[in-house]
Amino acid sequence: MSQNIPFDRPEQLQQIQSGLLQGEQIIAVYDAIGAGTGFLGLTDRRVIIQDKSFIGKKVAITSIPYSKITSVSVVSNKSLAGSFFSSGAIAINVGTHVYEVEFRGEQKSHHVHNVILHFIAGH
C-alpha cells in the first residue's frame, strides 16, 4: 500500500492507512514539528491532522474535507526577499479555525500547500 507515498514515520502512515474510506488513496504523510500537531496526512479526499494540543494529553485525529478548506497559506517569519516556501510551515483555514502546521524542510510545506491548493481550486 505504501508504494511511492512520501512519509516520515511508518507508524503515522499506518495510522492513516487504518482509517481510509473505501477507495481513498494516500498522497503523503508528514511529521509535524512544534507544539500541538503530531502529523498531517493528505489523501485524494481530505486532509488529516493529528492534534496533540488537548488538555490531559488527549489526542485528536481531525479530518478536513477539501471542500471545507477556504484557503491555504505559507507562513514565514522572513520577508519575501527569500524563497516563498523557506519556512516549512503552512496554515489551513477552515471556516473561522486555522490549523498551523510546521514541517521539517521547505519541500514538505511546498508539497502540502500545492496538493491542498490543487483540490480547493477545483483541479
Among residues 59, 5, 58, the alpha carbon closest in space to that of 30 is found at 5
Domain ranges of the chain: 10-120
- The answer to whether 111 and 98 have CB atoms below 8 angstroms apart is no
pLDDT tens for 98-122 read 999 999 888 899 899 999 999 999 7
Cell of 99: 490549523
Q: What is the pTM of this model?
A: 0.85
CATH 1.10.357.10 fits 10-120, yes or no: no
Work out the percent of the chain whose per-residue pLDDT is above 90: 62
In angstroms, the CA 73 to CA 22 distance is 30
Among residues 94, 88, 63, the alpha carbon closest in space to that of 76 is found at 88
Give the number of other CB atoms < 10 A from CB of residue 59.
10
In angstroms, the CA 74 to CA 93 distance is 11
In angstroms, the CA 84 to CA 101 distance is 16
Confidence band for 1, pLDDT divided at 50, 70 and 90: very low
CB proximity list for 60: less than 8 A, separation 6 or greater: 50, 51, 54
Among residues 113, 88, 78, the alpha carbon closest in space to that of 33 is found at 88
pLDDT tens for 36-78 read 678 999 999 999 999 876 677 788 889 999 999 999 998 876 6
Cell of 55: 488538555
